[in-house]
Amino acid sequence: MTFRLPVSEDNKYTVEPLIVDSLPSSSLVFFHKGKPIKEWVRLTPEDNTITAVLTGPRDDAASLSLALDAIVLRPYRNLIHDWLVIGPFGSDFIDQPMVEDLLNMRKGRTLEVGGKIYSWHQYKSADGIVHAREVIGAAPVFFMRPVQSSPPRIVK
């Protein structure tokens, strides 16, 4: 199935199907210019056609079905999804020397604060927003995202 999407400007977009009903073994894959759309796709007002392919087991191919309510098109935001998190800490343990220790600490190493041992844990944000209360609760926590820069430079 081919769709022309209402794109008003040249941009990167996410493409999300709103599926009403489908067979449990089927899945929908979108393509643009013959390549599967992964995280985002660049579309323009002139080049706005995508193709939807319904896939499933080969022996079930003739009976695959899908009810598609809409295709949601959103501008792609290059947000950070992968974080390192450490905590929760009691508010009386948060001080400048400890913050510097945390920033200098590498993944896999531990830090002792107030008799407790802490280490960094991975946190993946589905929407690019850090939901700290869902991860650890209301106590103070630190989130970190290591970045690599070429050439190396100081981040302020």
Position 137 scores a pLDDT of 65
- What's the start-to-end Cα distance of the chain, in Å? 49
Cis peptide before 97 (omega within 30 of 0): no
Position 112 scores a pLDDT of 77
Give the pLDDT mean for 121-132. 75
Give the pLDDT mean for 138-153. 66
Does the structure show a pLDDT above 80 at 132? no
Position 35 scores a pLDDT of 93
The helix/strand count (H/E) of the chain reads as 2, 12
Half-sphere exposure of 10 (CA within 13 A, CB side): 1
> Residue 23: helix, strand or coil by DSSP?
coil
Q: Residue 4 forms beta bridges with which residues? A: 49
